[in-house]
Structures are given as C-alpha cells and as structure tokens.
Amino acid sequence: MENFKIDVDADGIALITFDVPGRSMNTLTGKVMDELPALVERIKTDDAIKGAVITSGKASGFCAGADLGDMASGLLSGSGDLQAAYDAGWKMNGALRALETCGKPVAAAINGLALGGGLEVTLACHYRVVGDSPKIQLGLPEIKVGLFPGGGGTQRLTRLIGVQAAMTAMSSGSSWRPNDAKGAGVVHEVVPAGTEVEAAKAWIKGGGKAVQPWDDKSFKLPGGGPYHPAGIQNFLVGNAMIRKQSYGNYPAVTNLMKAVYEGTQVPMDAALRIETRYFIKTLMTPQAQGMIRSLFLSKQELDKGAVRPAGIPQSDPKKVTVIGAGMMGAGIAYVQALAGIQTILIDRDQDAADKGKAHVEELLKKRLSRGQLTQDKFDALLASVVATTDYDQIKGSDLVIEAVFENREIKADVTKRAEAQLEAGAVFGSNTSTLPITGLAEASVRPEDFIGIHFFSPVDKMMLVEIILGEKTGPAAIAKALDYIIKIKKTPIVVNDGRGFYTSRCFGTYVAEGLAMLEEGYAPALIDNLGRMTGMPRGPLEMHDDVALDLSVKIAKQTAEDLGDAYVPIEGHEIVRKMVEDLGRYGRKNGKGFYDYDTKPKKLWSGLSDLATVTINDSTPELIEDQKRRLLYRQAVEVAKCWEEGVIDDPREADVGAILAWGFAPWTGGPITMIDQIGLKAFVEQADVYADRYGDRFRVPQLLRDMAAKGETFYGKFAGVKAAA
C-alpha cells in the first residue's frame, strides 16, 4: 500500500504507520480511502496479526481529516447521483465499522493532532493513547466548513461521552487538549510524547478487549437517549439552543442533531447508515459547498501565496519595525514575535512604547499559562521585542509598518522619518483602514516600495490581512508583503487602492444600512436582531459600537475634507455625530454608544428614541426575510461595485476577505458565492426592487447587468484570471 506501512513484531502486533507520501500532514485522500478497506481486511484475515496499533509517520500530526480538495472534485462534482454519492460517503464508514468488528484488538497511538476524519479513525479503534503535548488537538471541526462528522463521529462520540457533551463539541467544532480529552472520556490514556506506540502495544499484550462498548449487549448510552427521562431534555433544549445559535442558516447543525437523535435509537450498523445519508444530504447543500470552497479550499490557496507575483525571489523578513505601540501596533508586534521576527516597537515617548510591549507580554503569558510556551521560549520571544522612541533602531529592518492615528499629516511625518533609516529594497507598509494608499505614498521618496498592510483588531485573533496597492507600488513590494503575511500565519488578500479599500468600504455599508433602518423608524432591537439573523456576528448598531462611533465621525471628517463638494454623508451620519459630539457617546470603548455597557448584559440606550423615533416595532415572517435579504444585498452590491471599479478582482479574495474581515454571513460562502448561487439575473432584479424602494445605493453596476444578460457567474468568468495574469 502507498499510504500505510505494516510491520508485524514477534508478538504478532502489527504496527500500522499512516504516512501519505509527499505531504507534510496526513489527510484522508481519495487513495487513502481506497486503501482503507484492504488494510482492514489484512488485519482481519492475516493469522500472523494478533492485534494492531495505528500511528502516524508524520512529525506534524496524526491526521488533519478528510482531504476536502478530493471531496470537492468527487462528491461535489455536481452529478446529482445520490447513490454514487452515498456509496462514496459510505466507503470510510464501512471500512471503520469493519475495523472495530474485525475480532482483533486495535489501538490508536495518537502522536499528533487528530481532527475530523483523523479523530474518527481513532474512535473506531478499541483503545486510544495520546501523547502529552500542548501542540496536540483532538476534535471534530467539520461544522466550521458547513459539514458535520461523516466517518462515524456522530455515533461513536455520542456513545462515548453522551448526547449533551458530544453535541456541544460537534456543533461548535471545538477541540480538546490531551488531558482534557482523557477527562472527557474521548481517549483512554495520556502518556509522555514519544511513548504512544509502546503504551498502545502494552494494552494489547495485557489482554486488550477487541469489542467496542456499544457492541456489548449491556451497553447503555451515557446520560440516556431520546426516550430516557433525562436524555430527552438534551434534544428539547438542544433543538432550541441550535436554533438560537444558527438562526436556521446552517443545515449542517440541524442535520447533525437529526443524525444523533435517530442514530442513538438503533444499533451501530443502522446508525452509521443514517449518519451517511444526512452527511451526503448536507454536503450537497449550497451552504456546505460555498463554505468548503471559501473557508477551506480558497483560504488554503491564499495562505500558500496563490496571488504572489511570479518571478520574484522568495524573501524571509528577519527584522520588522512597528511604529505606533497602541493596541493595534502591540498586536502586530506580538504576532511577529511568535513568528520569530525581531521587532522594533516605536512610539512617541518611552512610556507609550513600554505600554505596548507590556501588552505583548500579557499575550505571551496567556500562552505560557496554557503550556504552549516554555519559560525559556517566553523569555526569548519577549526579548525579541524592543520598545523604544529611537528611529535609528529601524536600521536593518526588512519592513516597517506604521500603525499610528488615521491622520494624513501624522502618517506623512512618520513615513519620512522611517524611510530615512531604510535600506534600498526594504518595504514601508501603512496600516491604514480608510485613507487611500496612493495619497499617503506622496510623502514617500520610494513609492514603488510603499504599500498598504491593513490588519484587523484584535490582531492576535483576526486572521485576515488586507494588502493594498498604490498606483506606484511595485511587484517586489507586493511579494515581500505577502511573504511577511504568510510568515506570521495570517491569510492575505491583495486589493487595489480606493477610499476604504475593500473591507472597510463594504463593511461600512452594513453599519450604514442599520442606521438607515433606524432613520426609517425601525426599533433598534429589531435592527440588531435582524442583523444577527442574517448570520452576521453582531447587529449593525452593536457592531458600530465595537468599532467606535468617534472613529466613524473622524473618518467622515477626513473624507469630507478630501472629497470636498463630492462628499455625500452616509445614512444616519447626523445621529452618530450628535451622539459623539453632543453627548460624548463613543461606543463600547467608553461604555456609552447605542448601548450602555455599565450593566451585564449590555442594554440599548434609552435616549436613542429621542434621536430616532420608533414607528416599526413589530415583525412578520415576511418582513424578517425581506429585511435580512436587504442587509445582505446592500453589502453584496458594494462588493460588485468594488469589482467593477477594479478594487478587487479575484472571487476567492472577495469571499474569504468578506468572511474573515467583517464577518459576512459565513453560511453564504461569501458575497460573490451568494450572488452566483442566487443567480445574477435574480440578484439584479431584487436589487432593483430595493433601489426603487430605498435609493440608488442598491443600484447594481453595469457589470452585473451584462453578466446577468449572458448567464455568467463570477467564479465561471473570473476564477483563475488573476493567476493567469
């Protein structure tokens, strides 16, 4: 076999080493799936084999789960053949069921992370040993890409730890560290790293039982099943909780509960068939297909530098200066330190610089407390960050990132002072969220090396970085910026210049549409509930509080100054201006915005009704669906305008950027996928309805009308265009 090596020792124990050739991490590829039944048959029928231990030949982990690339090209081929899809889905389930009923004890020696299908393989083993390492995670994260476990996970995990614990883990996609997994009952033993195989063999030699708990006649489901007095509560309450969390947007969560509910009432063989049917049903939904493409396949491509200019030598930044030691600058310094980059953190005075480094220290201490860093490593990483006011220390930097206030004059001064210390070929990046890069580059004596590098707050948690090109930004600067982003393990997108660029501009329409609804008389609670129901992480008003109302006012003033007579205030601008300038309500940052934050939970500010009279306080199913669509369409129309204006030109970057940057409803797969799946003709028609009703901000660009007339899609017309260029 190509992916499994079998060595039988003198005791008759077969050590099966899972090692997919040519890959740094094991995944369940199509070839692995093809070989799995033959592997199980060998274990079952070879008389020389008395028991088996399955482990990984990779230093990076046990198995990261199914290869969704293979799955996308196979099960997602669009053939519509349900029987063929079921047969393909059953291949793994059937093989793993054969493994656990082969009559010989099988142990898993988990020597690295085991996620998704990787964990499901171990759950089909009779015994699980895991190494004691903070780098190891065990979990079933399929829900994060619109799926749920389809290799027996819904049935085995539930029978191991009970309905409530299993549903909580699977519906959130959360993972366990080794000792937590043992405490939860997911694994049997935690041993020193490197001794997993030895411990697994010892279990077999000690008379390990070759029968799973659920195949024992005396087995009872922990906590009870659907008809148990206590067990029924898990489904009654769980159904309500799932609805609260997903708002019905994610078929995977609903089908997961159905598979668990039905599967726990029948023997394992029937339960696995039930799981496979629901898995295939989920896999064929537009939500799953969109999420798999954007959140796995496209993200993976971007993480590997898919849009990097060709022909530019690879760079490896060793020293990077960050100017501005506030929360943003300190966050950037932290992720750089973790990536092994020497960091100079500069601010206007030493106290401010030291405060920034203290934030880095605070974040590193969290990792230290979790066992993710040794004390020596902690000390070395903290020492790699130098807090200073001295611009001379910039010398030797491969890259400078300014993260100062959104003020053109301040940024110009910082640019000139920093560039005076830089060597030829070093890149200057501005972490601006709204100011056009071409304009900022006017302060530069080397505009070909001037680029926008837009991080999102909090930097340690937000995975996207938006790279913005000025008119004179050169390909070398683009390549170096991408190399830097990939080194700090963020996902990059590359966009062209324009006010607000891509992410800030499009995110702003969500907030603005919420303000428009406020002006129209919608109750604030209704507005934010509608926002959450679309699948956005927060309602538009509370999200506005999060990003700061005073920042919106500052940006509006700078924009008005730059555009002059061409400036058009956004919807609700006057409400926000009064809140900031007249009432001192800046948002969450000072505990006063659309909400009051001096109580838990936060409460809508009672004085809001004095600024916006409520006339629409009731809702109907029809109104809810219409206004949810309105909020999503407004954002998607702006994305289409960005496309026609050349701000963004790659469907992968548009979708991944929207989801990771401002939380555009992940179940859609992103705004471009949403437009494609609705169909451009239908999308344009509905957008025109909204334009007639609410204004020209909903009027789609001519590009969409032309594409609709030709029956085109974005992914059909533009996929691969950027790479080819």
Residue positions annotated with a catalytic role: 466
Q: Is the dihedral of CA 191, 193, 198, 203 positive or negative?
A: positive
Give per-residue burial for 310-327: e unless 16+ CB within 10 Å, then b: eebeebebebbbbbbbbe
Specify the DSSP class assigned to residue 616.
B
**Do residues 291 and 669 touch, judged by C-beta distance below 8 A?**
yes
Separation CA 622–CA 722 (nearest Å): 40
**Do residues 11 and 201 touch, judged by C-beta distance below 8 A?**
yes
Q: How many CA atoms lie within 13 A of 265 on its CB side?
A: 11
Q: Which residue has the tokens 């609410």?
A: 694
- H helices, E strands: number in the chain: 32, 20
Burial label, 132 (beta-carbon count in 10 A; 0-12, 13-18, 19+) = middle
| Crossing angle (nearest 10°) for helices 251-263 and 153-161 | 60
Q: Which of 553, 557, 540 is nearest to 586 (CA)?
A: 553
CA distances from 173 to 119, 143, 146, 149, 158 (A): 13, 6, 11, 10, 14
Burial label, 36 (beta-carbon count in 10 A; 0-12, 13-18, 19+) = buried
Separation CA 367–CA 361 (nearest Å): 10
Q: Is the dihedral of CA 507, 508, 511, 516 positive or negative?
A: negative
Count of all residues that appear for the chain in the document:
725
Considering only CA atoms, give the Rg of the chain: 28
Q: Which of 489, 393, 505 is nearest to 452 (CA)?
A: 505
Q: Which of 669, 655, 657, 716 is nearest to 290 (CA)?
A: 669
CA distances from 537 to 540, 660, 667, 672 (A): 9, 11, 12, 19
Name residues whose C-beta falls within 8 Å of residue 585's C-beta, 6 or more positions apart in sequence: 549, 579, 592, 593, 605
Specify the DSSP class assigned to residue 66.
B
How wide is the angle at C-alpha 635 spanned by C-alphas 634 and 637, nearest 5°? 65
Q: Which residue has the tokens 């548009």?
A: 654
Query: Left if phi > 0, otherwise alpha if psi is -120 to 50, otherwise beta: which for 178?
Result: alpha
Total Cβ atoms within 10 A of residue 413: 14
**Do residues 633 and 687 touch, judged by C-beta distance below 8 A?**
yes
DSSP secondary structure of 226-271: TTSTTHHHHHHHHHHHHHHHHTT--HHHHHHHHHHHHHTTS-HHHH
| Strand 13-18 with 4-8, pairing | antiparallel
- Going across the sheet that includes 427-430, the strands are 385-388, 342-346, 319-323, 399-402, 427-430, 450-454, 464-469, 491-496
| Strand 450-454 with 464-469, pairing | antiparallel
CA distances from 172 to 119, 157, 207, 350, 463 (A): 16, 14, 37, 43, 19
Specify the DSSP class assigned to residue 28.
B
Pure H helices in 150-189: 153-161, 163-172, 178-184
